Structure 1
Amino acid sequence: MNRALLATVFCLASMIAIGSAHGETAAIHSQIQDTQSIPLERSSTAQAATWGLSKQEWSRFEQIQAGPRGFWSPNLDPLTALGVEAETDQERQRYAELQVTLEAKRAERELAYQNAYTAAWAKLFPGLLPIQGMASVSPASSPVAPRPALFVEDQCQPCIAEALRLQSSDTAFDIYLVGSQGKDEPVRTWARQAGIDPTRVQRRQITLNHDRGHWFSLGAPGPLPATFQQVNGQWQRLD
């Protein structure tokens, strides 16, 4: 067999081997995709069950959020979305009752943890005001009666006046210091200067928070202070 023929045979054998390997890789990739598609389906069913919904109701929720409602209220929970877009009074009532039941259980768990947190803080850091390291604006209370979020800044007498007004009205609210740069001491200093009741902070009736850019993300015009509250899943300015 001459050299040219040998080279041709070797080339064909290499191509066959490469093609076989490619076929095996494609088959394995297909098997992986098929395997991954199973838990995704289960995850959707599990999410529906968490909210007390059927698989069909969860699909309806996804359809709602894919439409105009998803733009108006992008972070709306499934029960509120289904309730707002309900087609009958019976449906609306069903979702309202599901939401009230779920939120009552959530509030019970959060209250139990809040009591444990308060006790732990008082034990480990007596006399030191706790600062909430929150990644996003998220009031601690139930969406049925959301807490106001008060945005303030240093050297701002109107900010102090508004904080004292809310405190005197016995309102539970969350304070966000704009420009704290993630440092706890400026937040504590502001709270002391503003006359914020340490006992109410310990009980989390009032929380002290770093703003972390949330004020700018809300796109609100005008000077501080500014008070916001969640209405139908969206932040609205109150003052």
Structure 2
Amino acid sequence: MGVANKRSIAWGCAEQIKAQGGEVVYSYQNDRLEKRLLKLGLAEEEMVECDVASDESIDAAFDQVKEKFGQIDGLVHAVAFAPKNELEGSILNSSREGYLTAQNISSYSLIAVAKAAQEKELLAPKASIVTLTFIGSERAISNYNTMGIAKAALESSVRYLARDLGKTGSRVNAISAGAMKTLAVTGIGGHKDLLEQSRSLTVDGVNVSLEEVGNCCAFLLSDLSTGLTGDIIYVDKGVHLS
């Protein structure tokens, strides 16, 4: 969930899952994003419409997935959104409506899809759910503001979901990915400075790649990571050490 183009972290995850022999079903929010996925060479039978802001849309999408493919072994949640004015300047400029939108799409949606997947018995035994976060959840990053707060809520949701879904054998983890040139990052004011600052803080002077984040995601979805749940895994070349 969350592919917009080939620079999306969700795309990097999907590519590495397929490289390990996995099959991937892609979700899209609306017709505009469906056209983007088709341009990436995906077939319609690989895709399902799902707007995470709508419980009805989530239910319909998961019913379709279960009918076509049966139970799934993993779910990747790489969905986030905040109005642009919620990112810029001071957090004191945040509006109630914009704040709630960011929380709804970027944080609550993980709970919504996990709940629907469990209720519909979509998750196979030992299924794994992976979401994407960013270090702005724990540090005050310029021009991140409301999204940083939403990511903090997302990370807390991971821990509570891990506790409750663990009772049925499912795992929930998050990847805290380093900054890279994705569609989401380019929407942040001063994103070039953010990328350069991130690069300067990496241990080898090179920002993390989509492939590296995707490799971690494939690992977390696999049986090689059955001992991990409720964790935030940093894939940022050591930026979080600074």
TM-score of the superposed pair, with normalisation by structure 1? 0.27
RCO comparison, higher one (Cα < 8 Å, 6+)? 2
- Larger helix percent: 1
State which structure, 1 or 2, has the greater radius of gyration over its C-alpha atoms.
Answer: 1
